[in-house]
Amino acid sequence: MIKDTLPKFVAEIPEMAALFRAEQPELDGIEEEAKAWAKEFSQPTERSFAIFEEFFGFPKNDTLSPEKRRERILARLYFTAPITKKGMEEQLGKIGGIPVSITENADEQTITVRFTGQMGIPRYLDDIKKEMELIRPFHIVPVYEYLFITLGEYAGKTLADIKGRTIGACAESIA
């Protein structure tokens, strides 16, 4: 109500009270119309995700959780260039959802992206590679390194040595 925005002594003046009674229905109508306009022009979250993903060039992927979609969009919004090695590690980690470490090789003009947060090929590898193409300096070539357990790591070990690992886990890490 408009009288709540005025000093108390002004609201108590009889002429002002009569003015409030006369004007308040019109002000209430304007407020309702403004709320309706705001509602009409606001987007639901799922729709705004699609708008931002299209704007940033992310591939359409409805299987991602809302949290993952939001994280990708925010990572791109907060991205600043030129990017440092640490910034690149953080950016790729946010996009892929796993920690990465980057090793620079100035002589060969390459950087090695090592996925340190999981064994095998990351689930969002395509997203990580697309992000790398957007943020890397053009003269630098990325090389990707994945963590795998090799048969040599099990050579000479007994079942007691690898206790706690199932045969399936060992086979998956070797394959």
Q: Are residues 101 and 140 in the same domain?
A: yes
Same domain, 23 and 66: no
Q: Which domain holds residue 99?
A: 79-174
Over residues 126-169, the pLDDT tens digits come to 888 988 888 888 788 999 998 876 666 667 777 777 766 666 66
Q: What is the pLDDT of residues 74-120, one digit of tens each?
A: 877 776 666 788 888 988 888 888 899 999 998 999 999 998 878 78
DSSP characters for 69-95?
HHHHHHHHHT--SS--HHHHHHHHHHH
Give this prediction's pTM. Answer: 0.47
Residues 86 and 157 in one domain: yes
